[in-house]
Structure 1
Amino acid sequence: MDAVPAGAALAARPVRPGEDFSRVALTAPALALLHSLWERHGPLMFHQSGGCCDGSAPMCFPAGEFLTGDADVQLGLFDLPGRGEVGFWMSREQFGYWSHTHLTVDVVAGRGSGFSLEAPEGKRFLIRSEILDVP
C-alpha cells in the first residue's frame, strides 16, 4: 500500500507492533480543520468507538481528555506539521470489524451527533474506508 492513499494529504505513522504500513490518513480538508482546532484547543486526539452516540464517526478531543485503555487500540500517529502528534484510537471491538481496512478521515458539512471539537464549526469528521492491500 502507498504511504498516502489517493485523496489523502497525510498518512499516520504506524504504531502497532510488527506493522510498517499506515492504517489511517487525513484528507487535505481534515488536515486544515485539525490545524484550526489545534490553534484553539491545543494538542488533539481522535477516537472512534462505533458506539450509539457517535456511530462510526471519528471524534476529535483535546489530547488526554478521552481516556484510552485496554479496550482501545492505537492505529497511528499523525505528525501534524508545525504542531505535534495527533493519535488515532479505535475501540478494540470496532477494530475487530475494521482491521482489514485503511481509514481516511475526511470532513463534510453538517453537525455530527457527538462531542467532537469540530461540531461548532458546522462540519463533521467522517471515515472513508478501503480494503488494505498488505500481505
Structure 2
Amino acid sequence: MDEPGRVAVTPEAAELIRRLRGEHGQVMFHQSGGCCDGSAPMCYPQGEFRTGASDVHLGDLAVDDEDGAPNPVPVWMSGPQYEYWQHTHLTIDVVQGRGSGFSLEAPEGVRFLIRSRLFTDEEWAALGSH
C-alpha cells in the first residue's frame, strides 16, 4: 500500500480556496487546537502566519487552479494538537455560518472545519514512522 495522505479537501472547500486565492494570493492552513476558534482550521495568506519549530506539516491539499494546473495548499498543525490527532485522516470542508477569527473565509459567511476519521490499520501501518 502506498503511504496514505493525512489531509484532503472537499470539492466545496476547494472551490472556496480557489476564490480566496484569487483575492489574497497563495494560502495555507494552520490547525492550532485550543479554545475558541483554535479548534477550526485557519486559512491565511502564505507568509502571513509563521509556523514554529513544533508545528507539523501534515501535507498539501490538492487544489488545482481554474485552468487545472496543480497548486497545492500546505496544511500545518501545532505539535501538541498533532499528538492528539496523529491517528486521524483530516478533510477540510466548508459550512454555512461565520466563525470568529482571522481566517480568510470569515467575511464570506462560511467557515472551514475539519472532518476526521481514524486511519485504518492498513493506512496506519503504511504511514510507517508516524
TM-score (norm 2): 0.85
Deviation at 1:81, TM superposition (A): 1.1
Superposition RMSD in Å: 1.6
Deviation at 1:113, TM superposition (A): 1.5
Structure that is richer in strand per residue: 1
For 1:40 and 1:55, locate their aligned partners in 2 and report how far apart those are by CA, in whole Å: 24
CA contact (8 A) 2:8 2:62 kept: no
Question: Are residues 1:52 and 2:39 paired?
Answer: no
- Show structure 1 runs of 4+ deviating over 6 A: none
Deviation at 1:69, TM superposition (A): 1.7
TM-score (norm 1): 0.82
Question: Are residues 1:103 and 2:86 paired?
Answer: no
Larger Rg: 2
Residue ranges of structure 1 left out of the alignment (5+ in a row): 2-18
The percent of aligned pairs where both chains have the same amino acid is 59
Higher relative contact order (CA 8 A, sep 6+): 2
Partner residue in 1 for 2:128: none
Q: Please show how residues 1-135 of structure 1 align to structure 2 within 5 Å.
A: 20-82=3-65, 84-133=71-120, 134=123, 135=125
Residue ranges of structure 2 left out of the alignment (5+ in a row): 126-130
